[in-house]
A and B are shown apart, each in its own frame.
Chain A
Amino acid sequence: MKHADDLDHLAGCARCRQRFAGKTLPTDSGERLARKREFIAAAARLERERNDAVDLVARHLRETPTAEWPRLAELPALRNNAALEQMSDEVRKRLHRRPTEALTIAQLSTAVAALIPDGLYPPLVLAQIRANAWKDRASALRYLARYDEALDAASIGEEHLAPFAAVEHDRAIVRMVKGMVLFQSGRFDEAGPILADCRRVFAEHHDHRRHVHSGIAEASVFYETSRYADASRVYAAVLEDAIAAGEIESQASIHNNLGYCMTHLGDYDRANIHFSEAIAKFTDLGFTAEVPRTERGAGLILVGRGQIASGLAHLRAARRDFTAAGMIEEAGLCALNIAAVLVDRGEGSEARALTQNVVDEFTAAGLDERAIAAVVRLRDAIDVEGATAETVRTVHAFVESLRDDVCCVAN
């Protein structure tokens, strides 16, 4: 092994760390010793609070009606770091499925964080606590598509951290949310540099998980701005980290995205390899819905790029898997994607048979009658050769819009 003062080497080599540090001796100044004592006291307090507050927040949330959650800020027992860490976990758990609840808890977090007395923790820790609460609030607002408010919340988080040099990791965590908000707002020019900087900071801190996530976001910015080569470069870089960290789900997503990039770059062989990798990993994970979705995405983009045979193979595989998973509506929509290609190629009889299958499946599953009627009309139009690929796509869009209607009612 070649020993060196290189920082990456130092991180992994105890002998070189010792040698490197040996040249600089800490002072025994009163100021340094006081800081050290403050560190030890803060460590003891934080650990004690974590040990004493097990399940504290989850219990309060369970036992309190949702409408009264904001009043929990009045409880002195919640005014500490451990409780706020638990609130952060509760926000994270709800972001995907119940973002409104997540926001309520995040608002509670910021209220509680503001009430923590200034002397309870070192100023730096207090800044981290408050910044994290505002970061959670920004995340919840992002999931609710309230982007301006999310940016304001992230900015407040950054302001808390601004006076401190040693919190770049926290700063990057807050700024990553900001970058994601800007990305989702379509402000790609602003999002890109922020996400790139976050990725650098996470990489330097050996925070592989966030390095992967920020890399995926940064690459998505490139993708959205049609910079497919840059996107694939970043995806490939974070794929290594995702593999090293054993993050199979991230690997699957990255392979899927690399498949799209390669398709745009005209490298269909590698696109197919990446799509296949994504499908294999989603299958390993048991993500039954993601497998056919990946297949369908791959199929659509390949068809769009003129790779009809390869695209149809993916679409057929997707339809088969949607059907096997009992996702009848998705299977039907996929069949319409295939039908559009078939009609375009003049293969009306197969398209007609396919639409008939969709009618049968939708009817058996008791789906929306308007959807069934639309597909019946499409079948009849194909019968008399009065349907074009555009007609099929219109019916597809109509059936899909009915599903969106149902989702809106459900929410």
Chain B
Amino acid sequence: MIPPAPADTLFESLPSLVRTETDPPPRIEDNEFVQVYEANFGLLVSIAVRKFQVPFGDAEGLANDVFVSYLKHRNEIRELHGWLIGAICNASRHYWRKNDRSIDQLDDEATSTQIDPVSAHVVDWLTARIAAGEALAVLSARHQRILRLRYYEGYSIPEIAEELGVTKKYAQKLVGKILRRAAEFFKASGGPMEKK
């Protein structure tokens, strides 16, 4: 990660299409926005990638858009982190709804990457290299449905537990077990599991 630059430095480096000759330099309070951005950008990207399996590059775009959207609401937001987290979750769900048709295969692949959080970037290269659908095909319809709820619909573990009528702990174990099963098959078919 690049170190956060002081606000003034950042502003000085703006391209001319953004900053006009007549624009005065930003006031000191503009630093607030830089701080909010710096302090939370990684969090929002993490949520989009790890909780919703949004591809990393797209997750960064969504996170950035959440910050831009925040600018209009900043005066009415009482709980900044709650708002930002709510916004990235909804943006991620919207992302999947909008991309439903074109990323069916990607979605299936994405579910198999959950085996290792460190492999959050995996979806970027997995699409091109692996037919993860094969890995998922070995799962039962119920297990496929659970993965779909978790990683496509964005259900939380408690929500899945409610949907299945089981305890949260069991739902958590079930998701882990399904992922391990898919990952084992995936590995056996020659797919790499980690990106270094």
* Chain A residues proximal to chain B, CB less than 8 Å: 6-7, 10-12, 17, 20-29, 32-48, 51, 81, 119, 122, 124-125, 128-129, 132, 164-170, 201, 203-208
B19 CB contacts on chain A under 8 angstroms: 41
Contacts of B90 in A (CB 8 A): 168-169, 201, 204-205
The chain B residue sitting closest to A162, CB to CB, is B98
Can you name the residue of chain B whose Cβ is closest to the Cβ of A11? B82
Q: Which residue of A lies closest to B54 (CB)?
A: A165
Report whether B18 and A129 are in contact in the complex, using a CB–CB cutoff of 8 Å: no
Chain B residue numbers with a CB within 8 Å of A11 are 79, 81-82, 85
Q: A7-B51, A168-B94 are in contact. List 4 more A-B contacts (CB 8 A).
A: A36-B64, A37-B14, A44-B30, A164-B69
Interface residues in B58-97 (C-beta closer than 8 Å to A): 60-62, 64-69, 71-73, 76-79, 81-83, 85-95
Partner of B72 from the list A10, A48, A128, A165 (CB cut-off 8 Å) is A128
Does any Cβ of A come within 8 Å of B23's Cβ? yes
Count B interface residues, CB 8 Å.
67
- A166 engages B62 (CB within 8 Å): yes
CA distance A207 to B14 in the complex (A): 33
Task: Considering the complex, give the chain A residue whose CB is closest to the CB of B84.
Answer: A11
Selected from A6, A25, A122, the residue in CB contact (under 8 A) with B1 is A25
**Contact across chains for A24 and B50 when beta carbons are under 8 A apart:** yes
Give CA–CA (A27, B45) in the complex, Å.
10
Contacts from B to A (Cβ < 8 Å)? 1-2, 7, 10-11, 13-15, 17-19, 23-24, 26-27, 29-30, 33-34, 37, 40-43, 45-47, 49-51, 56-57, 60-62, 64-69, 71-73, 76-79, 81-83, 85-95, 98, 117-118, 120, 156
CA distance A322 to B95 in the complex (A): 55
Q: In the complex, A204 Cα to B64 Cα: how many Å?
A: 19
Q: Which B residue sits closest to A164, measured CB to CB?
A: B65
Cβ contact within 8 Å between A20 and B43:
yes
Select which of A21, A25, A34, A167 is within 8 A of B69 by beta carbon. A167
Q: A43–B86 contact, CB under 8 A? A: no
Please determine whether B71 and A125 come into contact, CB atoms closer than 8 angstroms: yes
**What A residues does B77 contact at CB under 8 A?**
207
- Whether B14 contacts A39 by the Cβ 8 Å rule is no
Contact call B71/A42, Cβ cutoff below 8 A: yes
- Whether the pair B156, A7 counts as a contact (CB closer than 8 A) is yes
Partner of B42, one of A22, A128, A207: A22
Given known A-B contacts A11-B81, A37-B10, A125-B72, A204 and B61 have beta carbons under 8 A apart: no
Give, as a whole number of angstroms, the nearest-CB distance from A138 to chain B. Answer: 18
